[in-house]
Structure 1
């Protein structure tokens, strides 16, 4: 098989601020795998869990240049061997995600079936996506909610908290959003921006505000404190940055209620499926999330969406120059289409 790749830069309509900083653009990599006159597509979306803006795009390009010659001898159906090769060569999860995604897209196109149907999944089981409101002033947060409402039928709102200005600012922003969207359920993601003491204080207050769950209340490295929160928090706890792959799930299962799976953390569709099944086997709920992903990656996640409880797949909706067209918004749901493979096409400019 032949592997080609090219970087592309995408820009956010509204910059997103979380506890680690603000991001307005991202340079991703489009990966194309060809064999038997069929081309499968994947996307690498570099990210950082330490500091926004510190991305490893150059590393991904270097990895693809390094591994591409070794992939030439394989057929796209040899996913197990390809995965073992990538892991043996310490290829990052972002690069693995792009390659694995392209292999599954190729498979669906080879079978001339949408991947969701090939996997035997039920599109009617897909729940609505949430839309994200980043850290902002109260008035800025209200405006962002209105912007989302102009774009789509908003069913759920995820609010980024963990403001550098402290929990008083967090509370003020959340109350402003409640005022603007009084009938829409709210979730909270602190992105590790709280201390243990503030997480305990905020959880009690957020429960009184009717928030559904809290995501990543503590920073990576503070997982030992999650059990204390688990025992005392009145709200379900989800983890994101603390859970990269299926290997992380067993050690977290006794101190959280759910995990956030992202394609770029997991390393591809194969690992996403493993994580779902292991999490469910541990009695955990599952959420899908995204980084600065285009429609290509979010469509790949939408294909697997019938299997999960919450969906936070809105990054492509905030792009002014998304180069792809894929899953469609219908009544707040991101639904894969009936085209073969992932069902993604290139936008004609």
Structure 2
């Protein structure tokens, strides 16, 4: 197979602020794998899980170039050999994800079937995706909810907390969103911005406001405290930054209630599928999330949308200049198309 890669930059309509900072644009990679006249598409999105942990599209592209001669002898279906290359060279998981997704897209196109159909998914089981409100003042949070209503039905809202101003600022913002959207299902994601004590202190208010689960309350460096939090939890605890792959799922079972699977962390659809089954076997709930992904990557994980309890796939809905079109929003649900592979195409300018 032949691999081509190019960078593209996307800009957010509304910059997103989380506990680690604010982001208004992102440069990602568009990967294309060609064989037998068929081209599969994938995306690699640089991401970080800690302050100072900075990955760039340039560094990802360098890794793709280094892998090309080692992957070119194989076909897109030769996964044992491809994963052997990954084990030998240990590229960033976002690089693996881009290659994995492109190979899956190629296979779907070769079979002339959408990936969701190849997995036997029932699209009627796809739940509405949440939309995200970043850290801000209560007034700006209310405004963001109103902006989302112009884009989609806001049935579920994820609220980013862990404000640098402390938990009182978090309390005020959370209250503001609830007042603006009294009927919405709320979830909270602190992105590791709380201590164990702060998480325990915040829980009664989360429950009182009907928050359905709490995501990544503790920093990666404080993972040892999840056992104590789990024992006193008043609502389900999910992990994101603490859970990359199936090995992490096994490690965290028993101290959390659910996991957030992201293609860029897991290394692609193949590992995401493993994580789903491992989580189910261990009695954990499953959520899918995203970084600053375009419609390409979100259409990829949407192929597995029917197998998730919760979806947080709104990044492309907040882009001014997404170059791709694919999975479509229907009544707040991100539904993959019946087109072969990912069903992703370039937008017409």
TM-score (norm 2): 0.99
Q: CA deviation at 1:55?
A: 2.8
Q: CA deviation at 1:241?
A: 0.3
User: 1:193-272 residue pairs with structure 2 within 5 A?
Assistant: 193-272=193-272
Give 3-state SS (helix, strand or coil) of 1:154's partner: coil
Distance 1:52 1:121 in 2: 39
Report if aligned partners of 1:22, 1:52 keep a CA contact under 8 Å in 2: no
C-alpha change, 1:24 and 1:342, in structure 2 (3 Å) is same
Runs of 4+ in structure 1 deviating by more than 2 angstroms, as ranges, are 51-56
Give 3-state SS (helix, strand or coil) of 1:338's partner: coil
Give 3-state SS (helix, strand or coil) of 1:259's partner: strand
Match of 1:296 in 2: 296
Aligned length: 349
Give 3-state SS (helix, strand or coil) of 1:170's partner: helix
Q: CA deviation at 1:224?
A: 1.1
Give 3-state SS (helix, strand or coil) of 2:198's partner: helix
C-alpha change, 1:52 and 1:333, in structure 2 (3 Å) is farther
RMSD: 1.0
Match of 1:110 in 2: 110
Distance 1:100 1:323 in 2: 20
Bigger mean CA deviation after superposition, 82-91 or 214-223: 82-91
Distance 1:72 1:239 in 2: 36
User: 1:1-349 residue pairs with structure 2 within 5 A?
Assistant: 1-51=1-51, 54-349=54-349
TM-score (norm 1): 0.99
Q: CA deviation at 1:51?
A: 2.9
Distance 2:185 2:76 in 1: 42
Give 3-state SS (helix, strand or coil) of 1:194's partner: coil
Q: CA deviation at 1:257?
A: 0.2
Distance 1:225 1:335 in 2: 37
Distance 2:124 2:308 in 1: 12
Distance 2:25 2:87 in 1: 29
Distance 2:105 2:285 in 1: 27
